[in-house]
Amino acid sequence: MSLELSKSVIGQRIAALRKAKGLSQEDLAKSIEVSRPVLAQIELGNRSLDVLELQKLSMILKFSVDDFMSKDFLIKEVVGVQEEKKVKKEVEERVSVPTLQINKFKNVLLYILERCAGKPNVGETVLYKLLYFSDFNYYELYEEHLTGAKYRKLPYGPVPQNLDAIILQMIEDGQLQKVKTKYHDFIQTRYLPLEKADLTDLLASEKEVIDKVVEQMSDWSAASISDYSHKDMPWLASKEGEEINYELAFYRDAPFSVRNYGD
């Protein structure tokens, strides 16, 4: 058995086999008795496997350890030729690419504004951060996308892409009103909801995550919530101007992590 494989190659193979078997990171992590962040680090190639963990994985994912550790190991020998093509694509993408659900995004935006648009501190900066934490907290909890919005690391914090176009459309459709107000001697851009969110478009789990974000952060100043977002691992681990990877939510520590992973 060769032990010369890089952690990156081993991680890619584990991720490919897991996805081919239809298992989430949460499912596989529980099966081998590690936390999901640990499994995420293994799949990303940032953490090595010990012998016991490798044996557990071989039993769950049904592969031969000797074959797995060989340089010419082929995923198709385990999952079949057709699945191997799909798995290769998924490994290259690392995880399912977030796809913006425009109607869902609009309803999340309307719901957040229903909850806190009347607060004098809730201008564009605070609103953007409430959207960001709703999306990333939901992904950390459920490994699924809430709105599918993509966020970039910009100087003032994470900002959802295409937001200007969506808001313009909502204004034209009579869903939002854009106003300028003075707050602490600064001109502030605010949005007021002109219709209620369609809550049938939100799962109970989605609404619960949004509610917790609003309750925790909607009273914060723009400076406070921006400073907080700059200390969140997805922001810290991303490069300026680039898209923020949702997977980075699994590396959060307190107080940012929204779930208890155990040891």
pTM of the model: 0.68
Token readout for 241 is 């101007």
Collect all residues with Cβ–Cβ distance below 8 Å to 65 and sequence separation of at least 6: 1, 54, 55, 58
The DSSP element (H or E) to which 9 belongs, if any, is: helix 7-20
Report whether 250 contacts 140 (CB < 8 A): yes
CA distances from 123 to 145, 180, 190 (A): 25, 9, 5
**Tens of pLDDT along the chain (263 residues)?**
444 678 888 888 888 888 888 888 888 988 888 888 888 888 888 888 888 888 889 888 888 888 888 877 765 545 444 444 444 444 444 445 688 999 999 999 999 999 999 999 999 999 999 999 999 999 999 989 999 999 999 888 888 888 889 999 999 999 999 999 888 778 889 999 999 999 999 999 999 999 999 999 999 999 999 999 999 999 988 888 889 999 889 888 889 999 765 44
Q: What is the pLDDT of residue 7?
A: 86
The domain at 7-93 falls in which architecture? Orthogonal Bundle (1.10)
Q: CA–CA separation, 183 vs 186, rounded Å?
A: 5
* Domains of the chain, residue spans: 7-93, 102-251
